[in-house]
């Protein structure tokens, strides 16, 4: 399991030429040297934020070697856009890019498997202004922390 899966998801997004064109340099990941608040203050939509969002325990206790408990890693991807249509298009493109990347690299070390994605409601930020949505992945991985 790894807490650097956020970089795998950013690699997935950056593997799409259309998303690279849409977001340009307006991409932020947990591994970025700039604090998230500074990024959000200094960037205009469209942009994407990829964050490590913690672990969740599945399958019982990990203290029992016979029980088989394991962690799932949670990754949050926030997509922001200038309007609702752009948001829908970019959010779908992000989902497709992540799915395609994980499928293409299936079985490689550090690549998550057993992924499940959920999405929140679209929202509008009057201060920015922009539309945004959180896409949340829960997944398993076998590499070390």
What CATH number corresponds to the domain at position 55? 3.30.70.1700
Distance CA 121, CA 123 (A): 6
Q: Is 43 part of any domain?
A: yes
Q: Is 145 part of any domain?
A: no
Residue pair 62/70 in contact by the 8 Å Cβ criterion: yes
Q: Is 84 part of any domain?
A: yes
- Condensed to tens digits (0 to 9), the pLDDT of residues 74-92 reads 999 999 999 999 999 999 9
Q: Is 67 part of any domain?
A: yes
Q: Which domain holds residue 42?
A: 5-140
Residue pair 138/116 in contact by the 8 Å Cβ criterion: yes
Q: In the chain, how many domains are there? A: 1
- CA 99 vs. chain centroid, Å, equals 11
Token look-up 């998230």 returns 36
- Condensed to tens digits (0 to 9), the pLDDT of residues 99-116 reads 999 999 988 888 888 889
Quote the pTM value: 0.86
């Amino acid at each position: 399991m790894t807490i650097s899966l956020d970089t795998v998801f950013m690699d997935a997004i950056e593997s799409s030429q259309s998303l690279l064109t849409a977001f340009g340099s307006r991409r932020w990941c947990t591994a970025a040297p700039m604090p998230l608040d500074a990024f959000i203050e200094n960037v205009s939509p469209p942009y994407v934020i990829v964050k490590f969002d913690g672990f969740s325990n599945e399958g019982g206790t990990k203290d029992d070697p016979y029980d088989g408990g394991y962690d799932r890693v949670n990754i949050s991807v926030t997509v922001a856009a200038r309007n609702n249509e752009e948001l829908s298009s970019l959010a779908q493109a992000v989902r497709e890019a992540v799915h395609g990347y994980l499928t293409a690299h299936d079985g490689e070390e550090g690549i998550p498997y057993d992924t499940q994605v959920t999405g929140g409601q679209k929202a509008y930020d009057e201060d920015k202004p922009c539309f945004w949505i959180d896409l949340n992945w829960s997944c398993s991985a076998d590499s070390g922390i």
